[in-house]
Amino acid sequence: MRDDPRLRGRPLAVGGDPGKRGVISTCNYEARAYGVHSAMASAYAKRLCPDLLIVPGRMSVYREVSAAIQAIFADYTDLIQPLSLDEAYLDVTASEACRGSATLIAKEIRQRVQATQGITVSAGVAPNKFLAKIASDWNKPDGLKVILPHEVEAFVHDLPVTKLHGVGKVTAERLKRVGVDVCSELLPWRKQDLAREFGSFGERLWQLARGIDDRPVVVESKRQSVSVEHTYEHDLPDLVACLAALPPLLDKLAERLGRLDSVYRVSKPFIKLKFHDFTQTTLEQAGAPVTPEGYAELCTQAYARGGRAVRLIGVGVRLDNAHSPMGEQLALF
């Protein structure tokens, strides 16, 4: 839309070909009004919005713009934690820019991005990451939401639990069954009772319901995995077809691993299968060989869990830090 004004005002999405099982990566607000959203099948999106124009992604352009925006961030703080190409946490606690005002910093960053890149960004200003993330989504598009320290309790009080990081559809349904729809309804719960009901996530729920989030902004992020996946235009009918589809995926995976920094070490291989009915399974195994034969065995075991036509295969490896003091697993003999 920025680069071609003719596209403004009409339903628009970035994604794959509807005729080849493409998926929507993102879309504008005109498309969202029809119910279109990211991760939706392009063919289904076209059924919801017949006038939807789907254009291919331009990753090189996105990376260029992302780098320019990150450079603007760096003028205000060195404590930057990127989450994706278009999102990041900034810790400006010690920043002297804009008289030390986080709100003024957010305003200035938004103005500079608009002036230099021709796009709008939304920002959230809050005492911690949990609240800043929620605030950044509050007034989209092109919005700014500020939550001051003394406003935290009142803000969280009526916040729907579905807004809490980590509360997905299943957890939200469990919370609803015990009478919890908003954060204030979690306050009477003791921490140990939440832990008993929701396991390890219970303690996190107790904290979030009170606006507590002590996670720091992490500047250096460690990569957890490398993977390659492909959605097939026609379902792979059986295990034999799945095994035959592995070699080109493994070639791409080897290419990506070859570009990996030496600080990483392969921990264990994994494979993901998505069946024709969109159910999926992921199988990983520590100690399994990272070889074509090893992946063939993982594929065989994973396929046995579904035993039906496959629409997507993913292959990858989990990573460890090669310089970790934990050392390595030695052979038994």
CA angle 150, 155, 160 (to 5 degrees): 160
Q: Domain 59-147: give its CATH architecture.
A: 2-Layer Sandwich (3.30)
Same-fold call for 59-147 versus 152-208: no
Task: Identify the pLDDT of residue 73.
Answer: 93
26 pLDDT more than 90: yes
Fold observed for domain 152-208: DNA polymerase; domain 1 (1.10.150)
86 is in an annotated binding site: yes
- Rounded distance, CA 182 to CA 205, Å? 12
Asked if the 225-321 domain carries CATH number 3.40.50.720, the reply is no
Mark out the alpha helices in the chain (DSSP H runs): 29-32, 42-48, 59-74, 102-117, 129-136, 152-157, 169-177, 191-198, 201-208, 239-258, 292-306
Residue 213 labeled ligand binder? no
- pLDDT of res. 198: 87
Residue 197 has pLDDT above 60, yes or no: yes
Does pLDDT of 327 surpass 60?
no
Tell me the per-residue pLDDT of 309-326, one tens digit each, with 9 for 90 and over: 999 999 999 988 755 555
Class of domain 5-55: alpha beta
pLDDT tens column, 56-100? 999 889 999 999 999 999 999 999 999 888 899 999 999 999 999
The yes-or-no verdict on residue 332 having pLDDT over 60 is no
Buried b / exposed e over 124-135, threshold 16 CB at 10 Å, is: bbbbbbbbbbbb
Which residues are annotated as catalytic?
87
Domain spans, the chain: 5-55, 59-147, 152-208, 225-321
Tokens of 319: 């990573």
Q: Coil, helix or strand for 232? A: strand
**Nearest of 329, 208, 237, 318 to residue 272 by alpha carbon:** 318
Angle of CA points 321, 325, 327, to nearest 5° = 80
Q: What is the pLDDT of residues 143-163, one digit of tens each?
A: 899 999 999 999 999 999 998
Distance between the two ends of the chain, CA-based, in angstroms? 62
Q: Is the pLDDT of residue 222 over 80?
A: no
pLDDT at 168: 84
What gap in Å lies between CA 185 and CA 159, rounded to an integer? 10
- The single-letter code of the amino acid at 329 is Q
- DSSP states along 145-205: EE--GGGHHHHHHT-BGGGSTT--HHHHHHHHHTT-SBGGGGTTS-HHHHHHHHTTHHHHH
How far, rounded to the nearest angstrom, does the alpha carbon of residue 8 sit from its chain's CA centroid? 27
The DSSP element (H or E) to which 50 belongs, if any, is none
Given a contact cutoff of 8 angstroms between Cβ atoms, the answer to whether 228 and 249 are in contact is yes
User: Do residues 136 and 102 touch, judged by C-beta distance below 8 A?
Assistant: no
